[in-house]
């Protein structure tokens, strides 16, 4: 390198404006942060984090209230028993998993159909939107009682309709057999949440620029192709999120089962959540350790499956309209 070149390089370096010395940022208002966040964090810790930690702790202990709340460390014994010899747990897990997998397959397409119907501005769309959304506003106990009436063998609407249309032979006690009880409950949650999913999807559809659909129409795509090849791909992130939320919700199903069947008949509608409550508070042992282990195991399963489904179904590329 010649001296000339070196001096020119030095000149260039000098010409580059120096970065200003790193200035200390404004001081964080720790006092205000503590005042505003402290109570919330405290409540969150007390009512969310602490119970979870205690549940994990209890899961490796035997904790019997009738023995004066004495803790006895049992290691992984509870988990071993659950996995190797607890038939009811496996039935409950199978029911919950069935519910978790089947419900989104019914709920989401149905909600999409309803949302598209409203998007097409059918007559009385506002009325339909209100009617379809109303069940979401009701609590599980109310919905449970209503559907107990619907499924009543003698005078329930389900059997009355069947008898009225000459299909009385198919009338049955819907909640009396494991073969029909679980599907009957799945139908109830579908009825209950179709409106919520519909509203979310309707908002997502409205957010899609009309240009895309217009362009497809100009290219000669019919309604079905516009839905399948334009709308659905653009709605994919929303559909996946709804499906995963639906899956998680159904895997935790408790209240509806408790009101309608309490897990019967013959464990035909037993879910893991109802089983945990029964083991914790209805068995004479009052042992909180074993049900805690069931709860921990189920938490891990739901967490794992949700993660897997998210990885499998979510596309990495961001969609921009």
Partner 1 sequence: MRRTTIGVLAATLILALGTLGSAQAAQLQWWSHWAVEDSKKAVLFEAKRRFEAKHPGHTVEITFYEKKNMWPALRAAFTAGSGFPDVFYYDNDVPEFMAAGWLADLSQGIRWESIEPYGKAFWTRPGPAGKIGTWAIPVEAASDEVYFNKKLFRELGIAVPANFAFTQDQFKDVVAKCAKAGYAAFATGAADREWAAMYIPDMLLLSKLGYGDVQKLYRGDLTWKDPRVVDVFRYYKELVDLGAYAKTLTSMQLAEAHRYFHTEQKACMFPVGSWYTGRAFVPPEKGGQPAGFELGLLNYPLMKDGKGHGEKMLGVAGSLAVAAKSPNLPLAIEVANAFADVEIGNMWMAKTGIQTGIKTDPGRIDSPIKWYFDEFAKVNRTSKWVDLTAQQVKLLMKPGVWEVYVATVNQGLPNRLIGADEALAKLEEARLKGK
* CA 287 to the chain's CA centroid: 29
| Smaller CB separation from partner 1, 248 or 277 | 277
Minimum distance, C-beta of residue 97 to partner 1, in the bound complex (Å)? 20
DSSP strands (E only) in the chain: 61-64, 70-73
| Smaller CB separation from partner 1, 217 or 262 | 262
| Smaller CB separation from partner 1, 179 or 308 | 179
Nearest by Cα to 239 from 200, 210, 189: 200
Minimum distance, C-beta of residue 143 to partner 1, in the bound complex (Å)? 16
| Smaller CB separation from partner 1, 67 or 215 | 67
What does each C-alpha distance from 33 to 24, 98, 143, 186 come to in angstroms? Answer: 19, 45, 43, 45
**Contacts with partner 1, residue ranges (CB under 8 A):** 65-68, 85, 88, 148, 151-154, 156, 172-173, 175-178, 261, 264-267, 278, 281-286
Minimum distance, C-beta of residue 293 to partner 1, in the bound complex (Å)? 15
- Rounded CA-CA distance 55/240 in Å is 30
Cβ proximity of 252 and 164 under 8 Å:
no
| Smaller CB separation from partner 1, 87 or 219 | 87
Number of neighbours of residue 300 by Cβ within 10 angstroms: 10
Minimum distance, C-beta of residue 134 to partner 1, in the bound complex (Å)? 25
Minimum distance, C-beta of residue 265 to partner 1, in the bound complex (Å)? 4
| Smaller CB separation from partner 1, 88 or 208 | 88
Side-chain half-sphere exposure of 288, counting CA atoms within 13 A: 15
Minimum distance, C-beta of residue 300 to partner 1, in the bound complex (Å)? 25
Q: Is the peptide bond prior to 265 cis by the omega test (within 30 degrees of 0)?
A: yes
**249: which residues sit within 8 A by CB, 6+ positions away?**
193
Residue position matching structure tokens 């009543």? 152
């Amino acid at each position: 390198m010649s001296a000339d070149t070196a001096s020119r390089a030095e000149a260039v370096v000098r010409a580059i404006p120096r970065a200003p010395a790193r200035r200390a940022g404004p001081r964080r208002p720790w006092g205000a942060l503590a005042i505003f966040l402290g109570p919330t964090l405290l409540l969150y810790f007390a009512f969310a984090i602490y119970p979870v930690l205690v549940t994990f702790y209890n899961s490796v202990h035997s904790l019997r209230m009738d023995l004066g709340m004495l803790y006895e460390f049992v290691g992984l014994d509870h988990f071993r028993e659950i996995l190797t010899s607890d038939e009811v747990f496996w039935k409950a897990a199978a029911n919950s998993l069935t519910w978790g997998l089947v419900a989104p397959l019914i709920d989401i397409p149905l909600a999409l159909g309803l949302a598209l119907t409203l998007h097409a501005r059918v007559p009385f769309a506002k009325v339909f939107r209100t009617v379809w959304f109303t069940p979401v506003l009701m609590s599980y106990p109310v919905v449970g009682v209503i559907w107990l009436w619907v499924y009543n063998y003698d005078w329930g609407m389900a059997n009355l309709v069947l008898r009225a249309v000459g299909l009385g032979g198919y009338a049955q006690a819907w909640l009396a057999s494991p073969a029909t009880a679980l599907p009957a409950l799945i139908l109830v949650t579908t009825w209950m949440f179709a409106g919520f999913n519909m509203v979310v999807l309707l908002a997502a559809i409205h957010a899609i620029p009309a240009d895309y659909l217009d362009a497809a129409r100009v290219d000669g795509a019919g309604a079905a192709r516009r839905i399948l090849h334009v709308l659905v791909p653009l709605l994919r992130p929303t559909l996946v999120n709804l499906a995963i939320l639906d899956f998680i919700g159904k895997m935790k199903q408790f209240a509806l089962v408790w009101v309608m069947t309490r897990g019967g008949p013959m464990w035909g509608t037993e879910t893991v959540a109802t089983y945990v409550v029964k083991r914790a508070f209805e068995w004479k042992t009052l042992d909180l350790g074993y049900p805690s282990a069931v709860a921990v195991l189920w938490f891990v399963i739901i967490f794992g499956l949700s993660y897997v489904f998210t990885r499998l179904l979510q596309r990495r590329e961001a969609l921009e309209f």
